[in-house]
């Protein structure tokens, strides 16, 4: 499986709408020889065509049922898996050529609510990204212990009674007890035991998610939100 990241300055065709009531439209783009050469020489680069709803700020791929696409007269199969979030972009690397290229879009119903974009994307493998994160972002055990200590110190400060109103254990007042918290070892994504625990840099909670599972669900969607605190 591969992750997908837009390449900086990699837009080939800026987001565009189809002309209303136009059943067939042709969209021409140019690939310079140096761009084509780089694209073909790297397995982790692709030329991506995607369709998304114009109100979707995350630009999740969503193909209207009436849309059909061909590139350089080669019909392309659109994957409209279920649910809608699992729609897949089209990748044109295998059908493009240096110089002039043509995308033909055919529709049988109005698709003015959707935009199309053609862009170069970086598609590293999940294994490659995992190895990079472990090299650069692996935290020492001491760091995690200190985070837990700070977390409970903050809990204790929050639960401390006001001055002059000290807790009285003889009266069954439990406010003097040490704070505690149960942390699950199950990933909130897969509900299976976590293999490689991870948290976002800005996350304040102790609970972790499984890093590989998190990368897998973001392969095409790319929302990159914490599944715990969102």
CA–CA separation, 130 vs 194, rounded Å?
15
**Which residues lie below 8 Å from residue 47, measured CB to CB, with a gap of 6+?**
12, 31, 39, 91, 92, 93, 96, 118, 119, 120, 121
CA–CA separation, 81 vs 134, rounded Å?
32
Q: State the sign of the Cα–Cα–Cα–Cα dihedral 133, 210, 5, 222.
A: negative
Domain spanning 5-124 has what CATH number? 2.60.120.780
pTM confidence score: 0.76
Q: How many CA atoms lie within 13 A of 8 on its CB side?
A: 0
**So what's the pLDDT on residue 164?**
45
Same-fold call for 5-124 versus 126-136+143-154+183-229: no
**So what's the pLDDT on residue 139?**
82
Domain spanning 126-136+143-154+183-229 has what CATH number? 3.30.40.10
Partners of 186 in beta bridges? 193
Which candidate, 115, 121, 87, 124, places its Cα nearest to that of 11? 121
Helices (H) and strands (E) in the chain, counts: 4, 10
**So what's the pLDDT on residue 225?**
87
Domain ranges of the chain: 5-124, 126-136+143-154+183-229
CA–CA separation, 217 vs 156, rounded Å?
36
Which residues of the chain are under the pLDDT cut of 50? 164, 166-167, 169, 171, 174
Beta carbons of 76 and 138 less than 8 angstroms apart: no
Taking the CA atoms of residue 221, residue 222, residue 227 and residue 230 in that order, the dihedral angle to the nearest 10 degrees is -110
């Amino acid at each position: 499986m591969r992750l997908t990241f837009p390449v900086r300055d990699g837009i080939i065709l800026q987001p565009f709408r189809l002309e209303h009531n136009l059943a067939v439209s042709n969209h021409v783009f140019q690939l310079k020889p140096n761009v084509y050469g780089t694209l073909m020489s790297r397995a982790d680069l692709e030329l991506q065509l995607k369709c998304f709803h114009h109100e979707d700020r995350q630009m999740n791929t969503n193909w209207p049922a009436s849309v059909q696409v061909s590139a350089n007269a080669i019909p392309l199969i659109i994957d409209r898996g279920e649910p809608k979030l699992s729609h897949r972009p089209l990748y044109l690397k295998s059908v493009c050529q240096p110089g002039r290229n043509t995308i033909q879009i055919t529709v049988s119903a109005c698709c003015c609510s959707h935009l199309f974009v053609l862009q170069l994307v970086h598609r590293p493998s999940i294994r490659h990204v995992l190895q990079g994160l472990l090299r650069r972002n692996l935290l020492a055990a001491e760091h995690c212990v200190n985070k837990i200590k700070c977390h409970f110190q903050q809990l204790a400060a929050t639960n401390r009674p006001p001055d002059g109103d000290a807790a009285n254990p003889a009266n069954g007042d439990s406010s003097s007890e040490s704070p505690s918290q149960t942390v699950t070892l199950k990933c909130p994504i897969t509900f299976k035991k976590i293999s490689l625990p991870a948290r976002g840099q800005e996350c304040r909670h102790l609970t972790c998610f499984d890093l590989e599972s998190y990368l897998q669900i973001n392969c095409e969607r790319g929302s990159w939100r914490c599944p715990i605190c969102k």
